[in-house]
Chains A and B, each alone.
Chain A
Amino acid sequence: MWKVTRKGLAAHKLRFVLTALAVVLGVSFICGTLVLTATIQKTFDDLFADINRGTDAAVRSANVIKGDFGNDQRANVPASLVTEVLKTPTVEAAVGNIQPYAQAVDKNGKAIGGNGPPTFGLGWDPNPKLNQFHLVVGRPPQADDEIVVDKGTADKGHFTVGDEVTILTTKVPKKYKLVGIAKFGTVDSLAGASIVLFTPHEVQRIAGVNNEFSQISVVAKPGVSQTQVAEDIRKTLVADGQTQYQVITGKALTKENQDAVHKALGFISTALLVFAFVALIVGMFIIYNTFSIVVAQRMREMALLRAIGASKRQVLGSVIGEAVVVGVLASAIGVAAGIGLSIGLKAVMNAVGFQIPGSGVVLRPNAVIIGLLVGTIVTIISAVVPARQAARVPPIAAMRAVALERPINRFRRLAIGGVILALGLLTLFLGLFGSSGISFVGLGALLMLVGVFVVSPLFARQLARVIGVPLTKFRGIVGSLSRENAARNPRRTATTGAAVMIAVSLVGFITIFAASANASIGSAIDQQLKTDYIVTLKGGGGPGGGGLSPELAKKISGLPQVAASTPIRLGAAEIGGSKTFLAAADPEAIPQLYDFNGVAGSIANLAPNEIAISTRKASSKHLKLDDVVSARFVQTGLVPLQVGFIYRNNTLAGDYIISLASFERNFPPQDQLDTQIFVKLKPGVSPVQGRAAIEPLVAQYPNSALKDNAQYKADQKKQVNQVLVLVYVLLFLAVIIAFIGIVNTMTLSIYERTQEIGLLRAVGSSRRQVRSMVRWEAAIIALFGTLLGIAMALFFGWAVVRALHDQGFTKFSAAPFSLVFIVVITGLATLVWASLPARRASRLDVLKAIDQN
């Protein structure tokens, strides 16, 4: 039977190449993701090992609020702790450090970085064991107005030693003299971060602290192990009753840093893998379809095999065998392509400034194994149903022209499809409205799509005919032929359409979701913001923090043209035991700037020991006015806060608000950075006069931008759309695979209809007409899938937006223009893309086609 398998593959090469392409693309995506993640992970593992190389132990506050991506927040420790630690006999050196926000401004007045890797300042550490920076030119900073920057930053800003460089901090921007340029270890910059090195004294000033550090790094005496020195320090501290601190070894610190990166990378790679699996699932439909068609075309051959004595098992085996060969080959190519892809992506990342040192990529066996397994298994699963169909063919079919196409069992399809659909709906709603989470949403959506696919052959003929109606009007006989061809094989049309449906439903969903987000934010800005101007942070602040110096807000509120203004500050805290973000504003000013739609209490006299909460949180946490919630902040630990105000509008404001005074008390000084400043002008001050007054202040802070409400709205929209574009890019592969499916189906159909096409040509249809017939049939099938996809997208979009209503998604937007655009684009793309099989069809040898005897 192996011979039959091999011959089967050889005879249908093109078809299997197209099938394999779907697997290759999906597998390369998976493998590329795994390899790239491993490579980045290795980079960071090495990096942290480098950073902490000289550190034998670290002492820091035990009061921590864990960040999702390792950006833990901790309380500062007093400088006196250094003296305390130094008491330990096994400690050779102990140096405190703190990393406040600091951002260099280039010669054109533009802030460097700020929209990705962090920008921060460090004290120049005289201890060579703890300082990983190596000067390439110049000398260390010795006076408080001297700095050193990393080489990456110097290159970006075209700085040379001796230049005057303005640095933005939590304080007023200040000019420094650049006295040196340093490399971090062997690289120009620490993974793209922009770092300014000050004197230890100056760092204290820009952090706004007075003899405080975020961490103390310790070097042990020679011959003392890390565990030993950590244990000794712990003892010293306990002896002095200082139990609020935590001592960990350098190794543990490195591991902690590495784990944090692994977690963040895990998040990214999971997200990428989800898209890779979407692509593979779309691919499964293509594989299933190809095998179904090929098997159907070879039914007589299968029957002959059965007639001459092959068992059902052997026939089944020969088809599965083909699937295994295709799966393994395609997966192997996919793995190789994936490795190539990751090398390319790495080069791109290096080019955009995210430096990954080393020339190669990290290839772990799991990337290869997972790629091979997933690709092969997916192919085999997709071929099981067609293989069973092949095995079921009666031997008599070889002799007689029995109907080989099984009739569609309407009842069974409806029942099975209905059950899957209902199950999907249930799962989706559990995920959306219950506590089951996002994976249930995904699973539910997938089940629903499969359910629709199972049912769709029942109406594929009718729907294809409806879609084709305009064609019969405008394209005459060619249109009728396309329409009938698209309708003649409902299973094939449904399966090919299903691949398109899945891709389009996701594209459509994300489009609707983004449009709804934009509509919700837009309407909130229009209806709730009472500002004239908003000062925003350029680049949105990277994960490494960054923000506006509070000095700017102070200056703006002092302007005679300004009636009211407040900075907005964001921070993480635990409220009622769960980690959350809260915003801070000036309670006196904010009522004039924002319409909260309050239901109880008042924001205007929100005291530092009070908190404002949204009605959503009030109802979920069963809180009323004057109830006390327990909050935990890094700087101050557990703090009881009384509910002083309850409000409805949370789209822009979020769920928790405290006063600025409270924020200043509960968060470390170096975290006192604003994300926005709301401004309202005095009556009688025109917007132009207002802008003229504020603009010069904003100009002094190149990381800030002045926006009126319309510009602010446009900004927000732009941010949403950036995410949208990213998701489009990631979904693109699934779309491509769905399109490959259309070409595949058309190629197979043409092969099957060789005689028909020959006949058409014989009775006088031009090549052009044959081409157009094939293209329009493809377009009908594509539109069939697209329309189903759009219908599903509308449903998913509506359900998700509905579920997120309480979280500020107050508006549902069906994005009609975008959806129509998607339909038109898929139609046009198919017409173009289908010219490949169309050409093939028009080139068929008429004589061969009609030669039947």
Chain B
Amino acid sequence: MTTTIPPTTTLAARAVGASKIYGTGDTAVRALDAINVEFPRAQYTAIMGPSGSGKSTLLHCLAGLDTLTSGHVYLGDIDLSTLSDKEVTRIRRDRVGFVFQTFNLLPTLTAIENITLPLALAGHKPDQAWLDRIIDTVSLRDRLEHRPSELSGGQQQRVAVARALVTKPEIIFADEPTGNLDSRSSAEILGFLQRAVEEFGQTIVMVTHDPISASYSNRVVFLADGHIVDELLDPTADAVLGKMRNLGGE
């Protein structure tokens, strides 16, 4: 039984000279401007920055949900910009996990069905031991047959985290996963993500606005106007807040 993800290279994902321009001419917006950034395995990276700085865009491009205008993004050794939509979809299904801010779950499926959705789409049987472990990690055992409408916001996000973990992806992307939650539920979710990194060797990249959320990570990358402007290792909430003041953000 594997409980950790075997590394092939030391980097789970990276962007090389990644640029993304929306629109053309006068109205063109340079959301990402020749960004170089690396995400080592088994690390919990937080991305921070003012609104409109390009955080979501970066995440989407790294995850193969969007394409770059120029430059490359790699998942492991694979250059996503060379793949077809079909191949990228497969990679998303098998090797990437997602947690969004809201609307993470299909309302017609039960919690357990939502968790195993990526496996079901691939036609794979879940690894029962792994599944049990995830479910216990996010403490959802007694809610498995409930539909999302019968779950609290925090529980819904826990289901989303479990779904992100279920395929043992090489990397999990989370875009403000606790943005809609109260502080207690937030702490729970962030704790689960942290445990996933520590116990399973999971790689996580998370966008957040909240210095406390960022303090759960191993490393914070700061973005402004499409550029990487700073970086902080083993952050504390205060240190993050200090950096953000310097950047003139929120």
Q: Which of B91-134 contact A (CB under 8 A)?
A: 92-94, 96, 98, 100-109, 113, 117-118, 120-123
Q: With A and B bound together, what is the CA distance between A309 and B92 in angstroms?
A: 48
Q: How far apart are B232's CB and chain A's nearest CB, in angstroms?
A: 25
> Are A766 and B66 in touch, CB under 8 angstroms?
no
Residues of A within 8 A of B234 (CB): none
Among B10-18, B82-90, B136-144, B186-194, the stretch in contact with A: B82-90
Q: How far apart are A745's CB and chain B's nearest CB, in angstroms?
A: 16
Q: With A and B bound together, what is the CA distance between A111 and B243 in angstroms?
A: 102
Contact of A763 among B92, B102, B108 (CB under 8 A): B92
Residues of B within 8 A of A755 (CB): 103
Contact of A765 among B93, B98, B105 (CB under 8 A): B93
Residues of A within 8 A of B85 (CB): 767
In the complex, what residue of chain A is closest to B119 when comparing beta carbons?
A477
> Are B103 and A759 in touch, CB under 8 angstroms?
yes
> Are A764 and B94 in touch, CB under 8 angstroms?
yes
Contact of B120 among A476, A761, A850 (CB under 8 A): A476
> Are B103 and A852 in touch, CB under 8 angstroms?
yes
Q: How far apart are B35's CB and chain A's nearest CB, in angstroms?
A: 18
Q: With A and B bound together, what is the CA distance between A235 and B60 in angstroms?
A: 104
Q: How far apart are A340's CB and chain B's nearest CB, in angstroms?
A: 43
Q: With A and B bound together, what is the CA distance between A488 and B106 in angstroms?
A: 12
> Are B108 and A764 in touch, CB under 8 angstroms?
no
Q: How far apart are B131's CB and chain A's nearest CB, in angstroms?
A: 15
Residue of A477, A762, A763, A846 with most chain B CB atoms under a 10 A cut-off: A763
Residues of B within 8 A of A762 (CB): 63, 65, 92, 98, 100
Residues of B within 8 A of A766 (CB): 86, 89-90, 121
> Are A480 and B100 in touch, CB under 8 angstroms?
no
> Are B66 and A847 in touch, CB under 8 angstroms?
yes
Residue of A485, A764, A766, A847 with most chain B CB atoms under a 10 A cut-off: A764
Q: With A and B bound together, what is the CA distance between A755 and B107 in angstroms?
A: 11
Residues of A within 8 A of B41 (CB): none
Residues of B within 8 A of A485 (CB): 108
Whether B227 is near chain A, meaning CB under 8 Å from some CB there, is: no
> Are A488 and B108 in touch, CB under 8 angstroms?
yes
Q: Which of B154-187 contact A (CB under 8 A)?
A: 163, 176, 179
> Are B123 and A759 in touch, CB under 8 angstroms?
no
Contact of A481 among B90, B98, B108 (CB under 8 A): B108
Whether A716 is near chain B, meaning CB under 8 Å from some CB there, is: no
User: Given A476-B123, A764-B118, A846-B65, are A756 and B100 neighbors across the interface (CB < 8 Å)?
Assistant: no
Residues of B within 8 A of A853 (CB): 101, 176, 179
Q: How far apart are B70's CB and chain A's nearest CB, in angstroms?
A: 18
Q: Which of B191-241 contact A (CB under 8 A)?
A: none
Residues of B within 8 A of A488 (CB): 107-108
Residues of A in contact (CB 8 Å), total 25
Contact of A769 among B106, B107, B121, B163 (CB under 8 A): B121
Q: How far apart are A764's CB and chain B's nearest CB, in angstroms?
A: 2
How many residue pairs bridge A and B at CB < 8 Å? 77
Q: Mark B45-63, 1 if CB is under 8 A from A, else 0.
A: 0000000000000001001
In the complex, what residue of chain A is closest to B92 when comparing beta carbons?
A764
Whether A760 is near chain B, meaning CB under 8 Å from some CB there, is: yes
Whether A484 is near chain B, meaning CB under 8 Å from some CB there, is: yes
Residues of A within 8 A of B108 (CB): 481, 484-485, 488
Contact of A759 among B63, B106, B113 (CB under 8 A): B106
Q: Mark A838-850, 1 if CB is under 8 A from B, else 0.
A: 0000000011001
> Are B89 and A852 in touch, CB under 8 angstroms?
no
User: Given A765-B89, A852-B100, are A481 and B109 neighbors across the interface (CB < 8 Å)?
Assistant: yes
> Are B65 and A764 in touch, CB under 8 angstroms?
no
Residues of B within 8 A of A480 (CB): 109, 113, 120
Q: With A and B bound together, what is the CA distance between A761 and B86 in angstroms?
A: 11
User: Given A484-B108, A764-B118, A766-B86, are A850 and B92 neighbors across the interface (CB < 8 Å)?
Assistant: no
> Are B90 and A764 in touch, CB under 8 angstroms?
yes
Residues of A within 8 A of B98 (CB): 762-763
Q: How far apart are B165's CB and chain A's nearest CB, in angstroms?
A: 12
In the complex, what residue of chain B is closest to A477 when comparing beta carbons?
B120
Residues of A within 8 A of B103 (CB): 755-756, 759, 850, 852
Contact of A850 among B100, B106, B176 (CB under 8 A): B100
Q: Which of A474-489 contact B (CB under 8 A)?
A: 476-478, 480-481, 484-485, 488
Q: With A and B bound together, what is the CA distance between A769 and B102 in angstroms?
A: 23
Residues of B within 8 A of A769 (CB): 121
Residues of B within 8 A of A484 (CB): 108-109
Q: Which of A102-160 contact B (CB under 8 A)?
A: none
Residues of A within 8 A of B106 (CB): 481, 756, 759-760
Q: With A and B bound together, what is the CA distance between A285 and B223 in angstroms?
A: 54
User: Given A480-B113, A488-B108, A769-B121, are A763 and B65 neighbors across the interface (CB < 8 Å)?
Assistant: no
Q: How far apart are B238's CB and chain A's nearest CB, in angstroms?
A: 27
Residues of A within 8 A of B65 (CB): 762, 846-847, 850
Residue of B96, B108, B113 with most chain A CB atoms under a 10 A cut-off: B108
In the complex, what residue of chain B is closest to A764 when comparing beta carbons?
B93
Q: Mark A749-775, 1 if CB is under 8 A from B, else 0.
A: 000000110011111111101000000
Q: With A and B bound together, what is the CA distance between A755 and B102 in angstroms?
A: 10
Q: With A and B bound together, what is the CA distance between A403 and B60 in angstroms?
A: 33
Residues of A within 8 A of B121 (CB): 477-478, 760, 763-766, 769
Q: How far apart are A849's CB and chain B's nearest CB, in angstroms?
A: 10
> Are B89 and A764 in touch, CB under 8 angstroms?
yes
Q: With A and B bound together, what is the CA distance between A767 and B92 in angstroms?
A: 13
User: Given A488-B108, A846-B65, A847-B65, are A763 and B93 neighbors across the interface (CB < 8 Å)?
Assistant: yes
Q: With A and B bound together, what is the CA distance between A852 and B100 in angstroms?
A: 9
Residues of B within 8 A of A481 (CB): 106, 108-109
Residues of A within 8 A of B109 (CB): 480-481, 484
Q: With A and B bound together, what is the CA distance between A765 and B118 in angstroms?
A: 8
In the complex, what residue of chain A is closest to B121 when comparing beta carbons?
A765
Contact of A761 among B89, B90, B102, B113 (CB under 8 A): B89
Q: With A and B bound together, what is the CA distance between A823 and B153 in angstroms?
A: 43
Q: With A and B bound together, what is the CA distance between A762 and B66 in angstroms?
A: 10
> Are A477 and B117 in touch, CB under 8 angstroms?
yes
Residues of A within 8 A of B176 (CB): 853
Q: With A and B bound together, what is the CA distance between A764 and B120 in angstroms?
A: 10
Q: How far apart are A498's CB and chain B's nearest CB, in angstroms?
A: 23
Residues of B within 8 A of A478 (CB): 121
Q: Mark B17-43, 1 if CB is under 8 A from A, else 0.
A: 000000000000000000000000000
In the complex, what residue of chain A is closest to B167 when comparing beta carbons?
A764
Residues of B within 8 A of A767 (CB): 85-86, 89
Residues of A within 8 A of B104 (CB): 759
Q: How far apart are A264's CB and chain B's nearest CB, in angstroms?
A: 56
In the complex, what residue of chain B is closest to A485 when comparing beta carbons?
B108
In the complex, what residue of chain A is closest to B173 when comparing beta carbons?
A762
Residue of A760, A767, A846 with most chain B CB atoms under a 10 A cut-off: A846
Q: With A and B bound together, what is the CA distance between A480 and B122 in angstroms?
A: 14
Q: With A and B bound together, what is the CA distance between A763 and B165 in angstroms?
A: 12
Q: How far apart are B32's CB and chain A's nearest CB, in angstroms?
A: 14
Q: How far apart are A784's CB and chain B's nearest CB, in angstroms?
A: 17
In the complex, what residue of chain A is closest to B106 when comparing beta carbons?
A756
Task: Across the A-B interface, give the 7 residue pairs with the lowest CB-CB distance, nearest first.
Answer: A764-B93, A477-B120, A484-B108, A764-B92, A765-B121, A763-B118, A755-B103
- Starting from the known contacts A481-B109, A759-B103, 9 additional A-B residue pairs (CB-CB under 8 Å) come to A480-B120, A484-B108, A756-B106, A762-B92, A765-B93, A767-B85, A847-B65, A850-B100, A852-B103
22 residue pairs A–B, Cβ–Cβ below 8 Å: A480-B120, A481-B106, A485-B108, A755-B103, A756-B106, A759-B100, A760-B106, A762-B92, A763-B92, A763-B98, A763-B117, A763-B121, A763-B163, A764-B89, A764-B94, A765-B89, A766-B89, A767-B85, A847-B65, A852-B100, A852-B102, A853-B176
* Residues of A in contact with B (beta carbons under 8 Å apart): 476-478, 480-481, 484-485, 488, 755-756, 759-767, 769, 846-847, 850, 852-853
* Residues of B in contact with A (beta carbons under 8 Å apart): 60, 63, 65-66, 85-86, 89-90, 92-94, 96, 98, 100-109, 113, 117-118, 120-123, 163, 176, 179
